[in-house]
Amino acid sequence: MTTHAQITGIGSYLPQRVLTNAELETLVDTSDEWILSRTGIRERRIVAEGQATSDLATAALSTAIASAGIGPGDIDLLVVGTSSPDMIFPSTACIVQDLLGLACPAYDVNAACSGFIYALHAGVTAIESGRAKRAAIVGADALTRHIDFTDRTTCVLFGDGAGAVILEAGENAGVLGVALGADGSGGDLLKVQAGGSAHPMTHEALDTRKNFVTMNGNEVFRFAVKAIPRATMEALEASGLTVADLDWLVPHQANQRIIQTVEQRLGIPHDRVFSHVDRVGNTSAGSIPLALDDLYTSGRLSPGNLVALVGFGAGLTWGAAVIRWTMARPIKEA
């Protein structure tokens, strides 16, 4: 009998500190009107002093573990998608493993904003091959740690956050199909140059601001509106489904104009495309599981629903997963 991977638990975490467009107006030459019309973002959350990516990941994963009705000892694989790890090593996954008391292999995957889909692919592959029974998959980033708050072209876009799911082996199909892609020739379009082996964190690197995110926004936009429909179609094809079968599309929350363009290109009705980019901005690898958790906890996902998750990011990377939702609707508190 074929073993499938199902999502049996979900959780997310946003830091408390809200950074509004009005506050950004005091930092750089920008306006609420510009940010809203070009990106759809009103506010984002940012990490507190002393808070690291592992803290966001740990909070999201502990909620996901509780929602699956299991304990940390039941998990036999932990994969964290992140491009803003706590440090070069140990991996953020190992830090989270220790904080939550897990006893399983743990590793990070760096595919920037596609990190959650890449991590999900690793978990699904491990479960379908019989190498794992319960995998914890996390997408977490504190990318504002690498943002230049004097650069108006990037500082208005990003926020921090994390989301996590528990994947379990089962007989019924949950994750139906996953499609991944990468094109390293586009690496220069979006990068943080310093801090690695090519450009160690020297005084010179800091003076030339190589420690911050740089981006060719127009080119990344053009890439995104092609990559998202293509990845979605590939994952649908792998699942034997079409766009018309989807109850929800949950795209990476980078920019409302990208989401709108993708809606049109895929021909999917607006009310089936989830967006909360206005409240969170681009949380990188945290984005897709945060959005999925918001969709779930707000009671808009029912068992049997077909959901496509799709991301794109630095690398360049992209990926999509088609899921038949199997978790019962959340119990509303009185």
Residues marked as catalytic: 113, 252, 282
Dig out the tokens for 146 from the structure: 């690498």
Dig out the tokens for 222 from the structure: 């053009």
Q: Which is nearer to ligand ACO, 134 or 252 (CB)?
A: 252
Q: Are the C-beta atoms of 60 and 181 separated by less than 8 Å?
A: no
Confirm or reject binding of residue 217 to ligand ACO (CB under 6 A): yes
Instruction: State the DSSP H helix or E strand holding residue 138, giving kind and residue range, or none if neither.
Output: strand 134-141
Tokens 């694989």, residue located: 77
Give 18's strand partners: 45
Q: Which is nearer to ligand ACO, 177 or 313 (CB)?
A: 313
Give 162's strand partners: 13, 140
Residue numbers 122-151 binding ligand ACO by CB under 6 A: none
* Angle ∠(130,67,281) on CA atoms, nearest 5: 100
Number of residues that bind ligand ACO (CB under 6 A): 23
- For the bound state, the minimum distance from the C-beta of residue 60 to ligand ACO, rounded and expressed in Å, comes to 19
Confirm or reject binding of residue 190 to ligand ACO (CB under 6 A): yes
Dig out the tokens for 332 from the structure: 């509303």
Q: Are the C-beta atoms of 117 and 310 separated by less than 8 Å?
A: yes
Choose one: 126-134, 212-220, 271-279, 322-330; the region binding ligand ACO (CB under 6 A). Answer: 212-220
Q: Would you give the binding string for ligand ACO spanning residues 282-301, x where CB under 6 A is met?
A: x-x-----------------
Choose one: 32-40, 60-68, 96-104, 178-186; the region binding ligand ACO (CB under 6 A). Answer: 32-40
Q: Which is nearer to ligand ACO, 35 or 68 (CB)?
A: 35
- For the bound state, the minimum distance from the C-beta of residue 190 to ligand ACO, rounded and expressed in Å, comes to 6
Q: Which residues contact 33 (CB under 8 A, 6 or more apart)?
A: none
Residue numbers 246-285 binding ligand ACO by CB under 6 A: 254-255, 282, 284
Listing DSSP states for 140-169 in one string gives EE-GGGG--TT-HHHHTTB--EEEEEEEEE
- Considering only CA atoms, which of 225, 307, 233, 232 is closest in space to residue 274? 307
Confirm or reject binding of residue 30 to ligand ACO (CB under 6 A): yes
Question: For ligand ACO, which residue of 294, 313, 319, 321 counts as binding (CB under 6 A)?
Answer: 313
Confirm or reject binding of residue 38 to ligand ACO (CB under 6 A): yes
Question: For ligand ACO, which residue of 166, 220, 266, 320 counts as binding (CB under 6 A)?
Answer: 220
Q: Are the C-beta atoms of 8 and 65 separated by less than 8 Å?
A: no
Give the E-state strand segments of 14-172 in sequence order.
17-20, 43-46, 77-81, 106-109, 134-141, 161-170
Confirm or reject binding of residue 112 to ligand ACO (CB under 6 A): yes
Q: Which residues bind ligand ACO (CB under 6 A)?
A: 30, 34-35, 38-39, 112-113, 152-153, 156, 190, 215, 217-218, 220-221, 224, 254-255, 282, 284, 313-314
